[in-house]
Structures are given as C-alpha cells and as structure tokens.
Structure 1
Amino acid sequence: MDSILITGAASGIGLATARRFHTNGWRVGLLDVNEGALQAVHAELGERCWYQRLDVTDMSQCEAAVAAFAESAGGRLDVLFNSAGVLRMGHFEDLSAEQHRFTLDVNVAGTLQMCLAALPYLKQS
C-alpha cells in the first residue's frame, strides 16, 4: 500500500491532502503541533491512518516521527508532503525578530529537517 506522511495535517492544505490521499486508498501519516486537532482528523479518517504530534523545529522529533510512521507502514514512505507553516501578519518593522525567526524556523528549517529525516526512507521505498 502506498504511504504518505503529511506535516501540518490538522488543518488547511495539509488536511485537504490527507483526506484526498486517504480517499484514494493510501496509508496516511498525520503530523501537526496541534494534537487535539490531529486526534479529530484521525477519528474522521479511521483505518489506514496514523498520527503523531510533531514540532517541525525539533530535528530529533522529525527523525523519530518519520521512523515511527515508516515502521507502521511496513518500512515504506512513498511521499513526504511538507505543509506545516505559520504566517505572521503585520508590517515588517512591527514584527519582532523572534516572530521573524519563528516563521523561518517552521517554514524553512522545518521543511528542510523533514526532508533530511525522510530521505533515507524515500530512497528505500
């Protein structure tokens, strides 16, 4: 069975992607920082669905989540869909350096870390 692992899977584009792939018979892995919302999506999708809370800014969490999903999918990871992201609204100068850093950490570093964590499994599959 084909498998996809999705970050930001509890809402927006990530959730829509999870629903689409699940409807098409794929095993779907849901990752998001919002555990309550993840549980609701998991309850909605049911079988062929796996979930785990994940903070994409933490490389060790990324590696552990990818490994756990791949193990649950019989060692397979066919697709990684990076959808985790944050948006801070306002004028550039009105946002603190910490807010800019957080955006980069989630949107850029989080994507990079997930790609690095998933690459060995993607190559194997």
Structure 2
Amino acid sequence: MLALGTGKPVKTGEGFIVLTDLKIFMSKKFWFSWTVTVWAAFLVFLGLFYYVNWYMPHGPSYPTGDYDCMFDGEGPCGEIYKEDLSVVDIPNWAKFLRANGIFFFTGLPILGLILIAKIKKTEE
C-alpha cells in the first residue's frame, strides 16, 4: 500500500509491499492507452461477431414458448425462437460468442465512452 499522496511504499498487515505509484493511474497517457485498447478490442470483437453469425453454420431453431409483441403489446405478436447450439460443429468460442455476444457488443462501447470522458476530465 502507498501512503496517500506521498507515493512511498508502506507495509501492510501481512508484510507485503506494493511498489506502484498512484500517479500513473491518473495520467492522461494511462487513460488514453486503456481507451485505445478497449476500442481495438471492440473492433476485433465486431469482426468476430460478424464472422460467427454470417459465415459459420447455424443450428436448428426451437420455440421457447414465449411471445414477443411489438409496440408495447399493441403491435403484432410472434413466438420467440432460440438456436440449438449443441448440434452445431463449430468451436466453443464461436458458440459462446453467438449465445452471449450481445453483452460484449454493448459493454465495450459503453466502457470506451466512459474512458473517453475520463480522458477529457483529466485534461481539465
């Protein structure tokens, strides 16, 4: 641990010493490098997402028993179908990306925007 504001290492209860300085986590260069990393990861993920969903084989779809109505229940309703990935001969990472990719697809750009705001805040 560091003594707050001094940057000098302090021993913790177990005797460990942390030798990092807190100033590096507040610099513009640090936040810029994280921002570039997040946006690069998003672009790589976007390419993989496109490849997995449009160029790899798809499995059979089965009805879930749920219905989805458009326009807050006032529009046409339709049954929700889900893809069965257990019978598809694709790598496990592609199955994971196809089933759970929306979390990365929305999470990485949000994190990238937060980091851009953090860079602007450190400029002030």
TM-score scaled to structure 2, two decimals? 0.29
Bigger radius of gyration among the two: 2
TM-score scaled to structure 1, two decimals? 0.29
